[in-house]
Amino acid sequence: MRKIKINHRGLLSIAFYFLLLTSYFSLSSCGYHMIGSKLLPFNSITIKPVQNKTYEPRLEERLHNALSKEFINEGIEVKGAGGDAVLEATVTTFELGAIAAVDDKIKEQVITMRVNIKLNDRGKITEFKTMESQIKITFQTTGTVSDSVAEKERSTDKACSEIAKEIVGRIVMTYAK
């Protein structure tokens, strides 16, 4: 009599793929579908230099870099000129607010950043006013001044990244309708 060896790892992977396939078909039959950059009618984008209407230095380059990275992550080529679509962004608000203080010393702050967006897709203009991140970005202000400044810089980059995700997501959802 011959013994049959069962490969448990193989059975688990088959079961996993079966469940994945089953859930895909059950969701798609209910009218749900995956939304991604494939729904965008353009393959490349030109991001014009970001306008900074605040007193916070270097926001324009930080947001430009975050937008470029986010579009690339979505499979959209970012071109210096001649893209299928053109994006204009203007930072209108950058505020720091105290959210925690001890003995009249601020211990934690929150960043509020708002951006206006204008997308020109071959003559079709789409505008989003006063966009901001859905996630509140906070940072600690304890320690030395240089530590606090470094935390603010990291948090500002995070705020730019989060708002870039929000912008790209909103653009994708606009074309998904």
CATH number for the domain including 102? Answer: 3.30.160.150
Which of 97, 96, 93, 7 minimizes the C-alpha distance to 51? 93
pLDDT of residue 99: 79
Kindly report the pTM of this predicted structure: 0.73
**Domains held by the chain: number:** 1
Residue 17 lies in a domain: no
Residue 31 lies in a domain: no
* Helix (DSSP H) and strand (DSSP E) numbers for the chain: 3, 7
Cα distances (Å, whole numbers) of residue 75 to 40, 55, 121: 10, 33, 17
Q: Are 49 and 60 in contact (CB under 8 A)?
A: yes
pLDDT in tens, the chain (177 residues): 565 555 656 656 666 666 665 665 555 444 444 444 456 778 889 999 999 999 999 999 999 999 999 999 888 899 998 889 999 999 999 988 887 777 877 788 888 899 999 999 888 899 999 888 777 888 777 777 788 888 889 889 999 999 999 999 888 888 776
Residue 26 lies in a domain: no
Residue 1 lies in a domain: no
Q: For residue 34, report the phi and psi dihedrals to the nearest 5 degrees.
A: -75, 140
pLDDT of residue 3: 59
pLDDT of residue 28: 47
Residue 50 lies in a domain: yes
Q: What domain range includes position 129?
A: 36-176
Q: For residue 86, report the phi and psi dihedrals to the nearest 5 degrees.
A: -125, 130
pLDDT of residue 94: 92
